[in-house]
Structure 1
Amino acid sequence: MKLKTLFVVFLAAFLSGCGLFGGKGSKDVSRTTGWAYNSDETGDIPYESGYEQEAGPGLVFVQGGTFTMGRVEQDVMYKWDNYPRRVTVASFYMDETEVSNQDYREYTHWLRRVYPGDRAKLEAALPDTMKWRSELAYNEPYVNNYYRHPAYSDYPVVAVTWEQAEAYCAWRTDRVNEQILVEKGILQHDNTQSGQNVFTTDTYLAGLYQGTDGESQIENTDGTTRRLKWEDGIALPSYRLPTEAEWEYAAYGLIGNVQGELLTERNLYPWNGTYLREASKDGKGRMKANFVRGRGDMMGMAGGLNDNADITSPVFSYEPNDYGLYCMSGNVSEWVSDVYRPLSNLDVEEFQPYRGNVITEYRRDADGSLMRNEYGELVKDTIADYRNFKDGDINSQLIEGTDWNSAENRSTNDMYVQDDRPGAFSSLITDNVRVYKGGSWKDRPYWLVPGTRRYLEQTRAQNDLGFRCAMTRVGSPEGF
């Protein structure tokens, strides 16, 4: 009996050591069922360990952490809309530079080629070069040349709306993922794409886009081939506009001033110190950003131009911050994803603060099939809209479905303007007003501080306002 007991104990210890039961187990075998992963015998249960996300084209890694978001100097504008608050931002990726004219022209070139007869589609994407026009300034050369002339190819694209920036991010996501599949040999480039027969990440993963197969298809363990799935970890997450917290956190670049958990110096700008000029011996006196030094002084005196830029400057101008990001202060202001509210810093969460969530789901027809629009994109329906969530207005206090314009729900007329309906009113700050960050070539030094914030209707554009893209990081916040 004792021998049998010893044998059972020895066998259990042996199996445990092999990782079949308990412990961390083998990466090829489930530690909860003992079934083999990625094996035809057990039904090809998928599992991949040690996944490490690759940065998409143009992106740099921004390791997340905690920081004080909001005002770090006197609020000279007296808006009181950026109260300081400690928050935490998850790790993410951000464009090394602002999106340039060349980057954006690739987008409009693609639209011309794929939708040659759709003038409205192209015009909806083109920057509004008329924003360069001024009643009392000779800016006509910029109206004609800034976006289209090769001399400005590496300058930041401006005069794009928030909605145009969002559309560019979606297009870039699809082109990057399409190129990844081509490089993996899963697809071939198809220059005949048009109409609904256009690659998008969503339609490919949903099985609605076929394309032309490449030479290296994904194989199951039984030798059959299949389409790429999101679970394979090959396609990248979406390019998007950064949140306000992400942009501000990345702009400060505090990672260069941290020893252990000690922040040795709190930046005012994206560089150390409170000076706007280079203090090092090599470039002493050189401007650190493209901004207006004083009234009527856009670039300094001939023979010694202070920032070497009369309007914008190339996107790789000046020194990057400690994350490797260029022009986070000056050159052009940049759109972020957030809906503007004066007290957003007090309303939003401590982790990943953001106002602007709109929850959607894919629309299906009566047969349950996914529906696409005329451009091949999946149609989405809004199921929840949190842009106006608990922002302090009367609508946030009403039961869902209640009309805040009804006579019995009105509280005051003083802070509202009339809308088109007789007797109705609405706030001057709507759900379509978005935040933009950073100073520009037209701004004084105050706006170079990353904690400052301004806002603009998402359908409007300015000749000093551009954008850069971000991407969510999946998995470990600092990598393996």
Structure 2
Amino acid sequence: MKLRTLLLLFLAAFVSGCGLLGRGGGGESSRTTGWEYNAEETGNIPYLSGYEQEAGPGLVFIQGGTFTMGRVEEDVMYQWDNHPRRVTVASFYMDETEVSNQDYREYTYWLSRVYPGDRKKIYAALPDTTLWRSELAYNEPYVNNYFRHPAYSDYPVVGVSWDQANAYCAWRTDRVNEQILVERGILQHDVSQSGENVFTTDTYLAGLYQGTEGDDPQENPDGTSRRVRWEDGLMLPSYRLPTEAEWEYAAYGLIGNTDGELLTDRRIYPWNGAYLREDRRKEKGRLKANFVRGRGDMMGMAGALNDNADITAPVFSYSPNDYGLYCMSGNVNEWVSDVYRPLSFLDVEEFQPFRGTVVTEYRRDAGGNLVRDEYGRLVKDTVADYRNFRDGSADSQMIETDDWNAEQDRSTSDMYVQDDRPGFFSSLISDEVRVYKGGSWKDRPYWMVPGTRRYLEQTKAQDDLGFRCAMTRVGSPEGF
């Protein structure tokens, strides 16, 4: 019986190998045509089955789901801009910690090496350390030391604008994807790259980056080397700022508070309960985050420094939440990608809520060639700008007018009062104002609630405002 079974298995394998039960030597075949994928005789049609995304450096996986976004306690500021609303967030990846001074110094060091003569570009990336300066406080040591001195290497970078944070995300994307290609033997590290010939993910995929080939390049069926394609799945999606919904969802870490599909405990902070101190025996009484306990009390009494942080604390301080994320409350506030609107929670979609979508496409010259700037980056043109979408109705306008319906093409500046004259009212709302969240070393506990939100012009920075990166997950929410 066993011999008969073995003979049948051998016969089946032989027939399949001869192409009688399928095409081309045992590879996966198309369910549409029967042609074999990735085979020279059928045109080398690409197909990769079972792809599973790996987390990029510094990132942890955040399994998505539904949650109630918005206010969880009394709105003591009376802003009415975070109405509770149930939404769903797709799975994604997020930095385990806030971006540290060391992380950001790696960026500025790279800029100095690649663009040594371009002081304007280098200075544009530097954090504004003068924000530590105060007219009635001795903060000059922080102006000179906080970003540069090794004592603060593991502290969160601050004084970075939203624009600067986005530029860092783009740079990090390119360096991570370049390193992936180097580790795979597809490229060699080129420390001499400069000017237009600088590796970016976009220019490499477009065939414009002229790098040095590695020892194990990708090959065509005829044995010639080829560039990695996006369809190969080797390179990672872009690092970016998280959306407000993603950030808030990740901060709560409700994965630890579920029983099946039942949420057992609604959180105020990234931990259970309404208390700000540890209740575990070993750490009992210690503060769970870095914040201001009361007027003039930034860190406690000498001999018992309760949070051990006069200003910021190292990024791995305190206990992580159930997703393994550190300092999602306190330490420094964090930029998110959303444009601020008071009533965003009433407008945005139920799935992946976000205000700030700007659709772009690559610019081409008259000959159809991609256009690059002086740094080799592909130039993009705006196709659609939805930052202001749905603003402009009679219900949303805040300016006086005799006949709103007669007014056409109202912009944000028309709807929200913008008056920079001293003593005159300004709403401070525009398409260049972004949300930040999380509370900081100089905030009271109210701002540590993930549902609270504040906003600032995207070109400005603060000494208590930093950021962390996120990355889109492609494929299933958790893997099949």
What TM-score do you get using the length of structure 1 for normalisation? Answer: 0.90
User: Which stretch shows the higher mean deviation, 46-55 or 217-226?
Assistant: 217-226
The alpha-carbon deviation at position 262 of structure 1 amounts to: 1.3
Structure 2 counterpart of 1:417: 418
Structure 2 counterpart of 1:387: 387
The alpha-carbon deviation at position 479 of structure 1 amounts to: 1.7
The unaligned stretches of length 5 or more in structure 1 are 1-13, 398-403
Q: RMSD of aligned C-alpha atoms?
A: 2.5
Structure 1 counterpart of 2:351: 351
The alpha-carbon deviation at position 220 of structure 1 amounts to: 2.6
- What is the DSSP-based 3-state SS (H/G/I as helix, E as strand, rest coil) of the residue aligned with 1:338? strand
String of CA shifts for 1:70-114, please: whole Å, max 9, x gaps.
001100000000000000000000000000000000000000000
1:292·1:443 contact (CA, 8 Å) conserved in 2?
yes
How far, CA to CA, are the matches of 1:41 and 1:292 in structure 2? 69
1:444 equivalent to 2:444? Answer yes
- What is the DSSP-based 3-state SS (H/G/I as helix, E as strand, rest coil) of the residue aligned with 1:35? coil
Structure 2 counterpart of 1:163: 163
Structure 2 counterpart of 1:4: none
Structure 1 counterpart of 2:185: 185
How far, CA to CA, are the matches of 1:300 and 1:363 in structure 2? 56
String of CA shifts for 1:168-203, please: whole Å, max 9, x gaps.
000000000000000000000001011101000000
Change (3 A) 1:408 1:70: closer
2:95·2:325 contact (CA, 8 Å) conserved in 1?
yes
**Aligned partner letter, 2:110:** W
Structure 1 counterpart of 2:223: 223
How far, CA to CA, are the matches of 2:49 and 2:235 in structure 1? 17
Change (3 A) 1:407 1:254: closer
How far, CA to CA, are the matches of 1:185 and 1:409 in structure 2? 54
**Aligned partner letter, 2:217:** Q
Structure 2 counterpart of 1:154: 154
The alpha-carbon deviation at position 259 of structure 1 amounts to: 1.7
1:156·1:315 contact (CA, 8 Å) conserved in 2?
yes
How far, CA to CA, are the matches of 1:413 and 1:48 in structure 2? 51
Report 1:70-469 matches (<5 A): 70-392=70-392, 416-418=417-419, 428-469=428-469
The alpha-carbon deviation at position 456 of structure 1 amounts to: 0.2
**Aligned partner letter, 2:468:** R
User: Which stretch shows the higher mean deviation, 160-169 or 260-269?
Assistant: 260-269
Structure 2 counterpart of 1:400: none
**Aligned partner letter, 2:417:** Y
How far, CA to CA, are the matches of 1:373 and 1:444 in structure 2? 45
**Aligned partner letter, 1:113:** R
Identity %: 79
String of CA shifts for 1:228-285, please: whole Å, max 9, x gaps.
0000000000000000000000000000111211111111100111110000111100
The unaligned stretches of length 5 or more in structure 2 are 1-14, 398-403
How far, CA to CA, are the matches of 1:431 and 1:408 in structure 2? 18
- What is the DSSP-based 3-state SS (H/G/I as helix, E as strand, rest coil) of the residue aligned with 1:53? coil
The alpha-carbon deviation at position 464 of structure 1 amounts to: 0.2
1:361·1:380 contact (CA, 8 Å) conserved in 2?
yes
The alpha-carbon deviation at position 224 of structure 1 amounts to: 2.7
Change (3 A) 1:197 1:413: closer
1:27·1:49 contact (CA, 8 Å) conserved in 2?
no
- What is the DSSP-based 3-state SS (H/G/I as helix, E as strand, rest coil) of the residue aligned with 1:212? coil
How far, CA to CA, are the matches of 1:279 and 1:19 in structure 2? 66
The alpha-carbon deviation at position 221 of structure 1 amounts to: 3.1
The alpha-carbon deviation at position 428 of structure 1 amounts to: 3.1
**Aligned partner letter, 1:212:** T
Change (3 A) 1:40 1:316: same
How far, CA to CA, are the matches of 1:323 and 1:467 in structure 2? 17
- What is the DSSP-based 3-state SS (H/G/I as helix, E as strand, rest coil) of the residue aligned with 2:334? strand
